[in-house]
Structure 1
């Protein structure tokens, strides 16, 4: 499939359950366990547990209906608001949030969070803690000046953005613009924790192929500087799996602090 025919996640939508099953499941043959599950959770746990990122209000702007990367955040942030692009993803998240029949089973990730925190016997507490921390799930639109319009959110102490900017941006200018809109929701002195795919051009959900803006580590670092984010920390994990479902070379975790 030619890159010009790749679907755009935020325009065409995707099957949110298939996305979870392909990239985040507990299946024995799930090839993305190291990159999609373990690396983001370890990095975010390190950031919060060491006191490098603090506050009470966290905004998460991530791809699909993932929540596994938020288990550590729920220990430190009393209020979490999730921003998503698709109604289907919001429905999926609400099904899990309210523990309804058919909700996606994240127990393999709550157990991983418990291991990171050294509290293996408190799995149910991890689920309850995250559910109680999530106060709102809102639809966002990066075509709007205020991406949560008509809702006006208070500025966040921390924003986590996982796998979104490269999926909704078609070129460098759009990436910078979308990064600027993201940090408009961040208070001065607050931090953006970004998880990004390096050198990716496509990814699949089922038989549907989606666009990804190809960006490397240097581009992302430079983009942070252009929008006024001082880099506090970054780490790169080279791809650990063999699969043609997505063509990324590495996963980047980068933390930027917004200027006062």
Structure 2
């Protein structure tokens, strides 16, 4: 579902680089931004959940109980032809993650009260469909997120399609079931041109987690 090779291809193509990359709705994870380490001066992670932000901080500080992301660093280093020196990639990324911030995509400024200058790139993965209860809310959340991009800035969006709910541990969470075309149309309706698009019909039906496709979009703000 994560499509790491697709994300890597965006960076290698030269489309994705700049001063600041902002990830919206990182969850407790850092793996989505690993390939950005060589292309940005600063990276900011965000999430609505304090417990998710705590997990990010644990990894940044090398605290006990931090999740081990070594396999992802090894994977991306292998794509670079440098698998034996994967720890160099980890050492490059860690100091570039400057802040871990609260985020609420329902707010006009999702980072409120923090005010950022418009950013070069925003990455968001399986966030908006998890946060939104209906398609109007999804459209408005996309609008709020895109407002943080500068003109000519890039959006990397990874969407999970037709997923009504999912499970984390023993907890069941509602999700907005949304189609491929609805995701693409919402991106375009919020002032972005789609540069590259990848999708697949991979599906899952494990317990209460159900989805039947994913889409990966690279778009540019007009």
- TM tier relative to shorter chain: over 0.9
CA contact (8 A) 1:199 1:249 kept: yes
1:144 deviates by 2.8
- C-alpha distance 115-42 of structure 1, shift in aligned 2 (>3 A): same
Gap runs ≥5 in structure 2 = none
Kept in 1, the 8 Å contact 2:106–2:140? The answer is no
What's the offset of the Cα at 1:246? 1.5
Are 1:63 and 1:163, in contact at CA under 8 Å, matched by a contact in 2? no
Q: Deviation string for 1:45-75 (max 9, x for gaps)? A: 1001111222121000134211112111111
Aligned residue for 2:216? 253
Higher share in strand: 2
Deviates more, 1:48-57 or 1:77-86: 48-57
Matches within 5 A, 1:1-260: 35-36=1-2, 39=3, 41-239=4-202, 243-259=206-222
* Matched positions, count: 222
The Cα shift of 1:90 comes to: 0.9
Look up the SS of the partner of 1:200 in the other structure: coil
Using the size of structure 2 for normalisation, the TM-score is 0.95
Contact 1:190 1:257 in 2 (8 A): yes
Structure number with the bigger relative contact order (C-alpha 8 A, sep ≥ 6) is 1
Quick one: distance in 2 between partners of 1:143 and 1:158?
20
Could you say what the CA RMSD is over the residues aligned between the two structures, in angstroms? 1.3
Once the two structures are superposed, residues 167-223 of structure 1 have per-residue CA deviations (whole angstroms, 9 ceiling, x without a partner) of 111111100000000011100000110001011111001222111101111101111
Q: Which structure 1 segments of 5+ residues have no match?
A: 1-34
**Structure 1 length-normalised TM:** 0.82
